[in-house]
Amino acid sequence: MFTNLERQLIQIVQRGGTIQAVMAKPEGASTNMCVARSLIHEDVEGAVAEHKRAINILLSIRDKFCANDLSRVKIYTWDCFFPYTMYAFNIEDLNNCRIYI
pTM of the entire predicted model: 0.62
- Number of domains making up the chain: 1
> Under 8 Å CB-to-CB from 32, ≥6 apart: which residues?
44, 48
Q: What are phi and psi of 77, to 5 degrees?
A: -115, 145
Q: What is the 8-class DSSP label of residue 101?
A: -
Estimate the crossing angle of helix 44-65 against helix 29-37, to 10 degrees: 120
CA distance 26 to 24: 6
User: Which range marks the domain in which residue 11 is found?
Assistant: 2-100
Give pLDDT, residue 40: 67
Which pLDDT tens digit goes with each residue over 50-95? 878 888 888 889 899 888 888 888 888 778 766 666 777 787 777 8
Q: What is the dihedral of CA 56, 38, 33, 22, to 10 degrees?
A: 40
Report the phi/psi class of residue 82: left, alpha or beta, with left for phi > 0 and alpha for psi in -120 to 50. beta
